[in-house]
Amino acid sequence: MKISLEWINAYLDRPAEKQEVVDVMTGVGFPEDGMEELADGDLMIDLEVTSNRSDCLSVVGLARELAAATGRKLMKPRIKLPKATAGEVSKLTSVSNEAHDLCPVYTARVIKGVKVGPSPQWIVKRLEAVGLRCINNVVDITNYVMLEMGQPLHAFDMKLLKEERIVVRRAKQGEKFVAIDDTKHELQDWMLVIGDAGRAVAVGGVMGGLESEVGDKTVDVLLEAGSFDALNVRKTSRKLKLSSDASFRYERGVDLKGLERASQRAAQLIIELAGGELAEGVIRAGDDEPSEHQVKMRVSRCNALLGTDLSADKMCDMLGNLELQPKLDGDTITCTIPTFRLDLHREVDLIEEVARHYGMDHIDVNDKIQIIIKPTQNKVKAKKTLGDTLVAHGYHETITYSYVTEKKGRLFLSDGEDALLLNEDMRKAEPMLRPSVVPSLLNSRKINQDLGNSGVKFFETASVWHKRGDAIQEKQTLTMMADAVDKSAALREMRGTIEEAIETLGGVSARETIMFEPCDGGKRYEVAATVKLGDKAIGEVGVLSGKIAKDGFDLQTDVVCSEIEVDAMIGLYPPVRNVGNLSRVPAIERDLSVVVTENVSWAAIEKVVLDSKPELLEDVQFIEVYRGKPIAKGSKSVSFRMLFRDPAKTLRHEQVDPQMELIMNKLANELKAEVRGS
């Protein structure tokens, strides 16, 4: 916010020197961002104003802070309107507000018979000191009052308004508009415009139009003061690439109660400097003036938080100087917050005001600060353990955006699921919240393909979104992707990684509950399996459809993917450790290869072996799957290893043979399995 030293001193009961202004304003949170000596001996000072302090985007607002911090008195501009002699304003014009949600308040005054010409030197000096170009006395006054009081205003030439009336409405799709800077724009139907009886004459809160601007021939002026939705102003300004001092202020919020005062101030100056007659009254379309609210602050809490020992009276003095109307009742100070302070809502906000005006440099800082470090939560430990396990298996973690293109995202929608699209201009290229992290990993795989990288493995823990009708569900998934030169080998390797991760998180007992059941992969997978923990399905793993990989993402290699619910996995943590004595006797290993049909899974084979309950069987381990000669088409050979041990004595082979016979018979009877080589 640029001010001149002469201008801010005009609102103080005694002038301040430049260094005092810089030092004091920096101390209360408005650091100096530049200074410039002006030719007339004045000084321009540029102060940084945070986005929550819209009240200080005005000379009066900054003068209030300076006065409160230095014990000066704020001298607000005196406003006294002349007698209205131009008739009733309601008989001269009308305002129709058809977009109350985007324009809570719109006011209009009428001044007839003005004489447009150059501004007096004192206005020219102040405006040029802060970098504004002077246009004419009427336009310059609207700019002057905006800088003085923080309320943007706009003046229309009434004779250039069709039917001399105002209609506040949404723009028509494709409606044309020429701004006062002579730039042409095509409006969209969500934008707010100020129109007359037939066209848009201003974009609400952003900029006025060329066709209704005040010029040398203007005689009658309609003076606008309004409030516009901050988000809509910002969105419109960015979309049209059209910004102004007015839009800068509307984006940060204006004082609804200050509209009338700013409008009166501008009308007073116009009549003083441009002549004319004021119409009686003001047209107000929209909400009534807002009421002030109260916020309480405990004196003890303020001192405890700041580490100070300030008296309640001292705090009341500081808050009173900021026009917060403090009232003390015991340990509690109740402040009535003026409507121009849009940033004060909580006790801590008032404590910050005390800290700013007491002075941060007056608050003692201890050499040592006690910090209580809480133990890491199991959920955090589990996620780190999971990540470490996957990295140990050769996977690289990715962090990708939650948005994908609609075309790619729809490839991963389940039956009955709808696309969740965002209506944001900045996300036009990728407007869809992803239903799966797989497309994001495939995009990363494509980048690595272009760089010539192979053997790629990625994982990511992130949110996905599912929309069915009006219901939207967000959940966290662990998504893994790996190259699959050999599809079967890659699928087995990913399965092993999942089992290892489950065991690391929940222990051996958790690994024993995991199952992979063949399922229909739909359009997404060529071959797929449901991942289950006990009876609960927690995800799926499979070979991604070649059509999706090649046609959808232009990949030149097959990939395997898995998607598993994160909460189900980390809920196993911490792992259960079952510790037993080390065996003193050796075990006997027996390898077995059986030929089964393609639809028989390793999980089914393992289940039959374990259900046969051989007395001495200690462990069953998968070895490999073989397809090809001499195995018949439609069948496969599955090899696995069994470990037999007697905890009390060394086993003999003749003790194991009957149990092997039992297992082979069970496999033959239940799965029609044939032992290879028999």
Nearest Cα residue to 282 out of 439, 94, 530: 94
Contact in structure between 194 and 166 (CB atoms under 8 Å): yes
- Which amino acid, residue 292? E
- Backbone φ and ψ for 383, nearest 5 degrees, come out as -65, -40
Strand partners, 638: 594, 625
The H-or-E segment that residue 203 falls in is strand 200-203
Residue 205 has a CB neighbour count (10 Å cut-off) of: 28
Pairing of strands 536-544, 200-203: unpaired
Please state the three-class secondary structure of 305-371 as a single string: HHCCCCCHHHHHHHHHHCCCCEEEECCEEEEEECCCCCCCCCHHHHHHHHHHHHCHHHCCCCCCCCC
- Backbone φ and ψ for 71, nearest 5 degrees, come out as 80, 10
560 phi-psi bin (left φ>0, alpha ψ -120 to 50, beta other): beta
Token representation of residue 15: 């002038």
Q: Is 224 within any annotated ligand binding site? A: no
Output the CA–CA distances (angstroms, integers) from residue 410 to 435, 472, 570, 655, in the order listed.
8, 16, 29, 59
Alpha-carbon span 496 to 531, nearest angstrom: 12
Contact in structure between 144 and 127 (CB atoms under 8 Å): yes
- Per DSSP, the chain holds a count of helices (H) and strands (E) of 21, 32
The H-or-E segment that residue 656 falls in is helix 653-671
Alpha-carbon span 49 to 375, nearest angstrom: 40
> Is the link from the previous residue into 586 a cis peptide, with omega within 30 of 0?
no
CA dihedral in degrees (193, 198, 199, 203; nearest 10)? -20
Contact in structure between 545 and 553 (CB atoms under 8 Å): no
DSSP code string of 206-249: TEEBGGGB--TT---EEEEEEE--HHHHHHHHHHHT---HHHHH
Q: Is 352 within any annotated ligand binding site? A: yes
Strands of the sheet with 192-195, listed across from one edge: 95-97, 166-170, 192-195, 200-203, 207-208
The H-or-E segment that residue 530 falls in is strand 525-533
Alpha-carbon span 278 to 85, nearest angstrom: 6
Q: Is 288 within any annotated ligand binding site? A: no
CA dihedral in degrees (342, 347, 348, 350; nearest 10)? 60
Q: Is 196 within any annotated ligand binding site? A: no
Burial tier of 416 (Cβ tally within 10 Å: 0-12, 13-18, 19+): exposed
Residue numbering of the annotated binding site: 343, 349, 352-353
Residue numbering of the annotated binding site for Mg(2+): 343, 349, 352-353
